[in-house]
């Protein structure tokens, strides 16, 4: 009896998805749980696995089609692997062998698929992920490096000639389109204002240097900067809860928890995974979660529930070299903290000029509900907490 493959049930905030890429054709054999098709929503790319072993009888949607939750995608005729066509059976056997190797290499599903489809040996590729783990970008870069450029045709040679003016047009991805719409909505709706301050990070740097090895040995996590900023942000939100609030019609909705979004770059654009209940978590828990979410973002493996909600956002343009910026709010949130690059700059301390690692920080806030005095004091709280980290322990 034929088995239907449907679009997964989508969250309330997501109404539709776009068929991004089929990984099988009609008439091909597919193994149960093998990724059949990628669907792009406004937040993440979903993988739809095959529910059974069998032959693909019909694909009902093509790349680029817009689909909604539980809409029919394909029909599979169930068959055992032994009933598969010879070529498909051989491919299935090869994939099973590759799957064993992938387990040893601890590869993510996206990386595993790339490795299998291109018949690669994971040990031949240098991993840049945590603990040397292979990322999707590592594999794509390896594939790109193996390509030899084809001989240029006369038309291509002419197009590449000096002074040539070329253009290309690509449709916006659903994720990029959503980012554009939401940011423009924020500009059109909120009364956004940005305040700035600078932070002397010498005390934080000294703490990290002193405890980095023992911290990593005990918790298995790197002691980075972001956990300090999350802790300082939580302290600021505790003191000035309106910065953690949002507008709901004519009401102000206050949150007694801190779900902190950490903006991260992904292959498909900016995403903001959420650290839930950040006010309850230790430095080690924060560092582990930040690292895990960052890795998922780079590999395009974030789940819907890891991106939903959030009461405040932190974005770090400093990793790309930004000296200063005015971040845009992430609706319906009322505040976003911008971090920037650290620079050795001369500052005055006790009448002497010394060189210190300095960072500009920026708070963009919704002036409809947050007064300037509260915004500035919030930034000062972050500055004081980072310049004297003992405050984070004592909450003073």
Q: Lowest mean pLDDT: which of 84-98, 179-193, 270-284? A: 84-98
The pLDDT of residue 311 is above 90: yes
The pLDDT of residue 316 is above 80: yes
Other CB atoms within a 10 A radius of the CB of residue 204 amount to 23
> Which residues share a beta bridge with 353?
348
Domains, the chain: 1-84 (2.40.50.100), 103-146 (4.10.320.10), 181-394 (3.30.559.10)
Average pLDDT, the chain: 85
Looking only at the bridges linking them, the beta strands covering 260-262 and 192-200 are unpaired
Give me the pLDDT at residue 83, please: 67
Average of pLDDT values for 325-350?
A: 94
Of the candidates 369, 380, 338, the residue with the CA atom closest to the CA atom of residue 244: 369
Average of pLDDT values for 150-174?
A: 66
Residue 295 burial by CB count (10 A; 0-12/13-18/19+): exposed, middle or buried?
middle
Catalytic residues: 367, 371
Give me the pLDDT at residue 75, please: 93
CA-derived radius of gyration, the chain: 25
What burial letters (b/e) apply to 7-16, b meaning 16+ CB within 10 Å? Answer: bbebeeebee
Provide the whole-model pTM. 0.68
Contacts of residue 314, Cβ cutoff 8 Å, sequence gap at least 6: 226, 229, 230, 233, 260, 261, 262, 263, 336, 337, 339
Tens of pLDDT along 58-100? 999 988 888 888 899 999 998 876 666 654 444 545 554 544 4
Looking only at the bridges linking them, the beta strands covering 269-271 and 335-339 are unpaired
Residue 194 burial by CB count (10 A; 0-12/13-18/19+): exposed, middle or buried?
middle
């Amino acid at each position: 009896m034929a088995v239907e493959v449907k679009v997964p049930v989508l969250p309330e905030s997501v109404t539709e998805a776009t068929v991004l890429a089929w990984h099988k054709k009609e008439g091909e054999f597919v193994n149960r749980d093998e990724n059949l098709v990628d669907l792009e929503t406004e937040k993440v790319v979903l993988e739809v696995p095959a529910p059974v072993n069998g032959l693909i009888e019909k694909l009902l949607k093509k790349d680029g089609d817009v689909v909604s939750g539980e809409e029919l995608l394909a029909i599979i005729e169930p068959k055992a692997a032994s009933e598969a066509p010879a070529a498909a059976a051989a491919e299935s056997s090869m994939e099973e062998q590759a799957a064993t190797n992938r387990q040893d290499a601890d590869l993510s599903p996206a990386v595993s698929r790339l490795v299998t489809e291109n018949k690669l040996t994971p040990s031949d590729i240098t991993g840049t992920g945590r603990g040397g783990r292979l990322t999707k970008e590592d594999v794509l870069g390896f594939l790109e490096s193996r390509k030899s450029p084809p001989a240029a045709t006369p038309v291509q040679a002419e197009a590449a000639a000096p002074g040539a003016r070329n253009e290309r047009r690509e449709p916006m991805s659903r994720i990029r389109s959503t980012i554009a719409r939401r940011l423009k909505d924020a500009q059109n709706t909120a009364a956004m204002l940005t305040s700035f301050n600078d932070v002397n990070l010498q005390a934080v740097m000294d703490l990290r240097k002193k405890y980095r090895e023992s911290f990593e040995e005990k918790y298995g996590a790197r002691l980075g900067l972001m956990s300090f900023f999350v802790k300082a942000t939580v302290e600021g939100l505790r003191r000035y809860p309106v910065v953690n609030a949002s507008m709901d019609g004519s009401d102000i909705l206050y949150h007694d928890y801190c779900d902190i979004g950490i903006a991260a770059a992904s292959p498909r654009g900016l995403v903001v995974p959420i650290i839930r209940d950040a006010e309850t978590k230790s430095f080690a828990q924060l560092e582990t979660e930040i690292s895990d979410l960052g890795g998922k973002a780079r590999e395009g493996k974030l789940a819907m529930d890891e991106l939903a909600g959030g009461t405040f956002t932190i974005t770090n343009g400093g990793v790309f070299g930004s000296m200063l910026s005015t971040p845009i709010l992430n609706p319906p949130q009322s505040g976003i903290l911008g971090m920037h690059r650290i620079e050795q700059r001369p500052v005055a301390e006790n009448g002497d000029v010394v060189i210190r690692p300095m960072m500009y920080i920026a708070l963009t806030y919704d002036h409809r509900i947050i007064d300037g005095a509260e915004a500035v004091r919030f930034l000062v709280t972050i500055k004081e907490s980072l310049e004297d980290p003992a405050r984070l322990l004592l909450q003073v």
